[in-house]
Structure formats: structure tokens, C-alpha cells
Structure 1
Amino acid sequence: MIQETRTHTCRGCGSPNIVKNGTNRSGSPQYHCKECGVYRVLKPKQAYSETERQRVLRACLQRCSLRGVERIFDMARQTVTQWIKAHVQHAPDFRETLLPAAPDDVLELDEIWSFVRKKEDPRWVWTALYRRTRQIVAFAIGDRSKATYLRLWKSIPEEYKHCHTFSDFWAASKQVFPAETHGCVGKETGETAHRERWNNTLRQRDLMSIMRELPSGFFFSTT
């Protein structure tokens, strides 16, 4: 049997006069140098490369959950969260991503229902989808009142407010959106088909990912 003994030295001054000093929050061994007095990690982990960071961010953009990323790439969720926050800070402003509105552009309006903790506390998420790019350009969260619909109207970018809009037959839409450009239609017309499909995607995939990240005691409806 061959055994190899390795002697560690201080990463600051190079002195071998160091002693163990427990572990840090990540479980990595630490040491204390009696020569220069520093407290450091004995064998610090190597920094992730930019290639690895981009691979993780691409996985997140494909709606992989944080726990899924943790298992696949063998890294802490806290690290992934920090990378996501830094990435978002450099993302372009929402209005910079919008195309100039054209005279024949259409916004599809619809809502999706959920609840917080219990069904007696319902919430409706109202959104406006820009048909040409399938981009959500405005939203409002609340009840089914005129006040919530008014918040949706106010959140629509100014140059998009002249677009034709389609929604279901909910009365509040007629009270808020201009009659000359707004139409109330049924699902059979196909005028809100893209918006209905977005709802289905949210129910079947995105909400399930959200649910996996929530602590116990939080409840969502996918209806």
C-alpha cells in the first residue's frame, strides 16, 4: 500500500504553521494561520467558468426548476439564484423589446383564475397579448371588477391603445375599452385563440414549476 501525505500551507503568507478551524456554512474545512492570523478556507472551490454559467442560465430559460438545475449541474440553488438576479439586471427594459404598433395590430384579452392558500381568496390575472409577436404587453391582478379592467387598460403601452382588441363577453370590458376598436367574441371565433393557448401552457407547465418551488402551505389552482 502506498500512502501520500500532503502538507498544507497558508494561502496568505505560505507558512505551514496553521491549525484546523472548523467548517464554514457550506461545510468546507477552514484553517487559522498562527503566523499572519488569517482565517480562511483550506481548499476553496474553483470558480465556475463563463461557459458553465451560460449553460445553467439557458436551462433556467427553458423553465427548468431551481431544484432541477441543482440536481443536473450539482450546484447550490443559492448560486443559481445569484446568477439569475445578475442576468435580469442586465436585461433590456420591457418597452425596448416591443415592436412599433401597426394599424392592423390586435390585442387579445383574457384572464386566468387562481387562489392564494384557499379558494375563498381568489385572484384573476388579466393580460393583453400582442398577436403579431405573442408577447404579453400588459397585465393586472385583482378581481373581475371594472377597477381591475381599468388597471389593465392603463398598463397597456400608449402606442398600443389604438389596436383592435378582443375579449370574452365580460361586461367590464365594454365599460373600459373603446367601443370603436373593441369586440366581445366567443371562443369559436378564434379571435382569442393565442391567448387561450397561453393560458393552457401556463396551467400545464409554468404553474407546475412554480408549485414545485413553493414551500408547503401554499396552494394554487390550475383551473
Structure 2
Amino acid sequence: MLFLRPDCPDCGSNYIVKNGRIHNKKPKYKCQSCGRQFVENSTKKVISSQTKHLIDRLLLEKISLAGIARSTGVSQKWLQDYVNNKYASIERTAKVKPKKKFRLNVECDELWSFVDCKENKQWVWLAMDRETREIIGVYIGDRSEEGAKQLWNSLPPVYRQCAVCYTDFWAAYTCIFPSKRHQPVGKDSGKTNHIERFNNTLRQRVSRIVRKTLSFSKKLENHIGAIWYFIHHYNYVLSQ
């Protein structure tokens, strides 16, 4: 009996040869005209660019990955791989508008979070420009002097030279921040109100750092990537 091979789905050529089998033993073909490799009647779902764009927007809302998978019709495995790759590529430096060298005011605070279990605490150290509301510095790690040091180092040079940083009375700040650039204040002073309000925004928009959640991170890299992804979006919206 004559065996009919399928036409190429790209160029329509019937100059087709067998090219092995895939994992489920279905035969794989190769087009000798254009080089396309394919499986006849493939059940593999191709994720459209529109769906990926929707997923990118949903990642900025307080929705679990399982919820995004249900809403968009993609598999949880594909979504997890997509998120892993996306968060791994996120830049870990805040993008802010250029500033002139004059007195700048910065508000700093730390936000509790965890990865995998609540014993694995990961504090989110944040610095905000009081005038522009931009997030200018971020560090995610423990609540030690090292965390304060990394936050200070994450500030753009103009802020380290000209800004006064208002913080709470956590001792790590005093140990690391230069005295001329640092002013500890109480909550009643109102000088850290904006960064404390941003903490609430972050908890409302990033499900991984809600205090009681089933959407917590299991990998530190994804935890950091998700927070940076939202911060880049936040600063971008401010610049528009």
C-alpha cells in the first residue's frame, strides 16, 4: 500500500522525509524544501503573543500562577517555565530619571516576606524619592547590617552624595548610612509615610508577599524577580 506523507505546514511542499520520532513515538517529518520539522496532527498548543502579553499584565496583579493558568488556558508547567525565564531576565537595578546635584529627600523602610516557609525570612529593603515617588533602591535579604549596606549601595550615586535618607530607628541604618545622609524619625513625623504606603501597594499587587497567602515563592530567584518586575512597572507608570 502506498504510504502518503503529509505536506509541509509552512511551504506546502510534498518533498517530505521521515526524521525519527518524538517522545510519544509519533513519527517526525522534515521538509527537504524549507527545512521545517513537524509532526502530523500535532496536539502541542502554541501560545500566542496576545496570550503572553495578557500573562505579563496578570503577573502585575495579586493573582496566583494557578489562577493565571486557569484564566488564560495555558498549562501550569508551561506557565512556570515562562515565569522562571522572565524573572531570571529582569534587571536588578532601579531605572530612575536623572537628578541634579541638590538636596534630595529619600524615605527608606523594610518589608517582611518569606520564601518556601515562614522561617526563611526575606526582608524587602526599599528606598523612595519623596518628591517623585520613584523607587530608587531595592535589596532583598536578611534584616542585618548587610541588608542596610546593600540598600545603600543600590542607591544611584547622586543620592548617596546629596540625599538625606529618613528611616525608622532600626540600628542597621545608623551603622551603615553616613551620618550626614541619614535622619532616623518616628512614624508620627510623617517623613516615611510615602514608603510605608508603598509597602501596602506592594502587598496588594504582589501575591507572593501577602502576609497570609498560598501564593508564596518557593524559589528565592522568582521571589526577587517578581518584586523587581512590579517595581520596574511602577516606576515606568510614574514616568508617563
TM superposition score category, shorter chain reference: 0.5 to 0.7
**With CA pairs under 8 Å and 6+ residues apart, which has the higher RCO, 1 or 2?**
2
Q: 2:215 aligns with which of 196, 212, 217?
A: 212
Identity, % of aligned pairs?
31
1:49, CA displacement in angstroms? 3.7
Distance in 1 separating the partners of 2:61 and 2:67: 11
Distance 1:143 1:46, change over 3 A: closer
The alpha-carbon distance between structure 1 residues 119 and 182, as it changes in their structure 2 partners (threshold 3 A), is same
Show CA shifts across 1:92-112 (max 9, x none).
Answer: 7845x3112242432111112
Change in CA separation of 1:114 and 1:51 when aligned onto 2, cut-off 3 Å: closer
Taking only aligned residues, the RMSD between alpha carbons, in angstroms, comes to 4.2
Residue 107 in structure 1 maps to residue 106 in structure 2: yes
TM alignment of 1:68-87, pairs within 5 A: 68-80=67-79, 81-82=81-82, 85=85
Matches within 5 A, 1:1-223: 9-11=5-7, 14=14, 24=23, 30-31=26-27, 41-44=39-42, 45=44, 47-80=46-79, 81-82=81-82, 85=85, 89=89, 94=93, 97-102=95-100, 103-115=102-114, 122-161=121-160, 162-206=162-206, 207-208=209-210, 211-212=214-215, 214=217
Alignment deviations for residues 15-59 of structure 1 (CA, whole Å, 9 cap, x no partner)? 9xx9xx7x857xxx93467xx9xx953323564443333233222
User: Quick check: 1:57–1:84 contact (8 Å CA) kept in 2?
Assistant: no
CA contact (8 A) 1:30 1:40 kept: no
Asked if the contact 1:139/1:152 (under 8 Å) is kept, the reply is: yes
Task: Give the number of equivalent residue pairs.
Answer: 199
Answer with 107-116 or 68-77: which moved more. Answer: 107-116
Secondary structure of the corresponding residue to residue 61 of structure 1 = coil
Between the aligned partners of 1:211 and 1:131, the Cα distance in structure 2 is 33
Deviates more, 1:78-87 or 1:188-197: 78-87
Point out the structure with max Rg over C-alpha.
Answer: 1
Determine the C-alpha separation between the residues in 1 that align with 2:117 and 2:91.
Answer: 36
Q: Secondary structure at the match of 2:136?
A: strand
SS at structure 2 position matched to 1:151: helix
Please give the TM-score of this superposition, normalised by the length of structure 1: 0.65
Answer whether contact 2:93 2:154 (CA < 8 A) is retained.
no
Separation (CA, whole Å) in 2 of partners of 1:42 and 1:128: 55
1:82 partner amino acid: Y
Cα deviations by residue, 1:117-139 (Å, 9 ceiling, x for unpaired) = 66665443322122234333223
Q: Structure 1 residues 150 and 119, CA, compared in 2 at 3 Å: closer, same or farther?
A: same
Task: With the length of structure 2 as denominator, give the TM-score of the two structures.
Answer: 0.62
Between the aligned partners of 2:150 and 2:189, the Cα distance in structure 1 is 26
What amino acid is aligned across from residue 198 of structure 1 in structure 2? Answer: F
Is this contact kept in 1: 2:115–2:216, CA < 8 A?
no
SS at match of 2:183: strand
8 Å contact kept, 2:115–2:217:
no
Q: Which amino acid aligns with 1:157?
A: P
Shift of 1:63: 4.7
Structure 1: where are the runs of 5+ without partners?
A: 1-7, 216-223
Say if 1:191 and 1:210 are closer, same or farther in 2 by CA, change over 3 A.
same
